[in-house]
Structure 1
């Protein structure tokens, strides 16, 4: 961490304490909380058999608690290995997030961002899906616009070309509900 970054971090930590708030933490010391992992697996649900991804079909089979990497149609699993795999996947996503996010975060913000990355992929989280670019969310975050970064979660509302936030949507309404939940969590308003 550079000299200016250290001063800014210390100033912001002191200011947060004066307001009775916990300061944001450097990403190096953050890890997904137990509640964050439970939230991810509860949202994803469990399947002991590989099934076609709702967006990509059999091109991206999914198993366990939302695992897609290295999965083939016909694969099976049980709950314990599926949870272990979800944790390994989360840890890989955390590593990628820590490469692209350069600012300290509160635990609730970090958990929300890891959960989003688990759903959309860390590459998409960091780049917006375009190699060599930076996503709007990460641009805002690294600029210190914490509220704007939380609001950018709501931009991840499409499944293919379907707007999951559209009233009466029956195709992917769960995605929109999840984005609203993650936005509230990110803003510190989660139940």
Structure 2
């Protein structure tokens, strides 16, 4: 059964959340397969499965693939609710939704809530908002979306570029 089918079986039915899952899973785990044990992420946060973090995690814990899928579904649902709350009343395109869901999943809703990206989005400057995903500093200010503990990480640069591409795909009319 595919990741998408397994998430749907757990009640994650939103098509845009599933599109976000397809963007998030490979960024959080090699080949989109869950990491079945806890590990330290690049900023020394105990993490497991598909980038799951939380106070319940301890070093040297192990999980089944099913447990990881369940955590992923729960984390995606939470991030999706946060995204919808923080972007209301804007009707996001599927690409914007997937990209911003991935960002919130990775950085948290607090970072998104105070970001220049969100301010631009709520002002209707949607293309400029998408460009914030990869713009560390520029005319709209600075964001830390490619930094972890002050260090620019290649993995985050790649992830933000993919998010930006998906974010912009429905905004340009030919």
Shorter chain as denominator, the TM-score bin is 0.7 to 0.9
Match in the other structure for 1:10: none
Task: Report how far residue 91 of structure 1 moved.
Answer: 0.8
1:48 aligns with 2:33: no
Unaligned runs of 5+ in 1: 1-29, 128-134, 164-171
Task: Report how far residue 31 of structure 1 moved.
Answer: 5.4
Unaligned runs of 5+ in 2: 1-13, 137-144
Aligned pairs (5 A) from 1:36-115: 36-45=20-29, 46-55=34-43, 57=44, 60-69=45-54, 70-102=56-88, 103-115=90-102
Task: Report how far residue 96 of structure 1 moved.
Answer: 1.3
CA distance in 2, matches of 1:36, 1:148: 20
After TM superposition, what 4+ stretches of structure 1 lie above 2 angstroms from structure 2?
A: 30-36
CA distance in 2, matches of 1:36, 1:101: 16
| Residues paired across the two proteins, number | 142
Q: TM-score, normalised by structure 2?
A: 0.76
- Contact kept, 8 Å, 1:97 with 1:126, in 2: the verdict is no
SS in 1 for 2:36: strand
Q: TM-score, normalised by structure 1?
A: 0.69
- Contact kept, 8 Å, 1:140 with 1:148, in 2: the verdict is yes
Query: What's the RMSD between the two structures over aligned residues?
Result: 1.6
- Which has the larger Rg? 1
